[in-house]
């Protein structure tokens, strides 16, 4: 069990932690970017297998991405035709989760988050587009042969560029893996964790969260 952090333990909390309304289906592609990233963290907290990962990639990740601006080269190593065993898939998922938790811990620190987000745009992993209202919004780019951790990271980097202030108080439920932006706590109806069991994501706490998922 991870150590909990109560409102009094977070210096300078702008407002008391508050319970949000139950999750609903995201109404826009912009909202689906965050929802897809959050679903990965939530799902891998409980443990995913090959099928659950594939379902997430098709149903939640794919609708969020945008094609690259430039045609990618086809000079890539051949794809392995040998089926990957379940142990390898599990290690891949846990490694991606650990790396993404570390990224989330960096995104709460503006002087670390901004260079990471700008680098993602410069590398083509995140790209600006016009959203449904005609405003500029950022979306993850569908690049060939991206690693799983890179795909999930691009979701959160794009979301950070869209709503950077909501990452200043980013919290994680140690029981169900739900993420809370702007310290707004929201649980699935099945999770009985109390507010004391949410942890504020910082570089140190992200290490504990990662260790808890692999223990």
Q: What pLDDT is stored for residue 209 in this prediction?
A: 54
Torsion of CA 48, 49, 51, 57, to 10 degrees: 50
pLDDT tops 60 at residue 72: no
Q: Pairing state of beta strands 184-185 and 18-19?
A: parallel
- Tell me the pLDDT band of 130, cut-offs 50, 70 and 90: confident
Neighbours of 198 (CB within 10 A): 25
Q: Evaluate whether 60 touches 39 at the Cβ level (below 8 Å).
A: yes
Assigned domain for 18 exists: no
Q: What is the pTM of this model?
A: 0.78
- Tell me the pLDDT band of 196, cut-offs 50, 70 and 90: confident
Assigned domain for 113 exists: yes
Q: What pLDDT is stored for residue 176 in this prediction?
A: 86
Assigned domain for 154 exists: yes
Q: What is the mean pLDDT of residues 68-73?
A: 63
Q: What pLDDT is stored for residue 189 in this prediction?
A: 60
Assigned domain for 80 exists: no
pLDDT tops 60 at residue 28: yes
Q: What pLDDT is stored for residue 80 in this prediction?
A: 53
The first and second tokens of residue 89, run together, are: 């898939």
Assigned domain for 62 exists: yes
Assigned domain for 115 exists: yes
pLDDT tops 60 at residue 204: no
How many structural domains comprise the chain? 1
pLDDT tops 80 at residue 128: yes
Assigned domain for 5 exists: no
Q: Name which residue leads in pLDDT, 197 or 147.
A: 147
- Helix (H, G, I), strand (E, B), or coil: what is residue 128? strand
Q: What pLDDT is stored for residue 121 in this prediction?
A: 94
Assigned domain for 170 exists: yes
Q: What is the mean pLDDT of residues 181-198?
A: 73
Average pLDDT, the chain: 78
Q: What pLDDT is stored for residue 14 in this prediction?
A: 36
pLDDT tops 80 at residue 136: yes
DSSP 132: T
**Domain range for 119:** 26-68+87-214
Q: Name which residue leads in pLDDT, 7 or 53.
A: 53
């Amino acid at each position: 069990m991870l150590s909990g952090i109560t409102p009094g333990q977070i210096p300078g909390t702008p407002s008391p932690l508050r319970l949000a309304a139950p999750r609903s289906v995201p109404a826009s592609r912009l909202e689906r970017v965050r929802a897809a990233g959050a679903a990965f963290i939530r799902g891998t907290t409980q443990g995913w297998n090959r099928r659950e990962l594939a379902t997430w990639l098709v149903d939640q990740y794919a609708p969020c991405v945008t094609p690259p601006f430039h045609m990618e080269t086809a000079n890539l190593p051949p794809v392995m035709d040998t089926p990957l065993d379940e142990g390898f898939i599990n290690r891949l998922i846990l490694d991606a989760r650990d790396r993404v938790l570390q990224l989330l811990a960096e995104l709460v620190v503006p002087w670390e988050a901004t260079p990471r987000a700008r680098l993602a745009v410069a590398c083509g992993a995140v790209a600006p587009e016009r959203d449904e209202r005609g405003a500029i919004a950022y979306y993850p780019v569908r690049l060939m042969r991206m690693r799983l951790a890179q795909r999930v990271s691009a979701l959160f980097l794009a979301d950070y560029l869209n709503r950077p202030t909501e990452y200043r108080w980013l919290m994680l439920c140690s029981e169900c893996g739900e993420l809370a932006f702007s310290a707004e706590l929201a649980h699935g109806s099945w999770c009985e964790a109390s507010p004391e069991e949410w942890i504020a994501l910082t570089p140190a706490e992200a290490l504990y969260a990662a260790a808890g998922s692999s223990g």
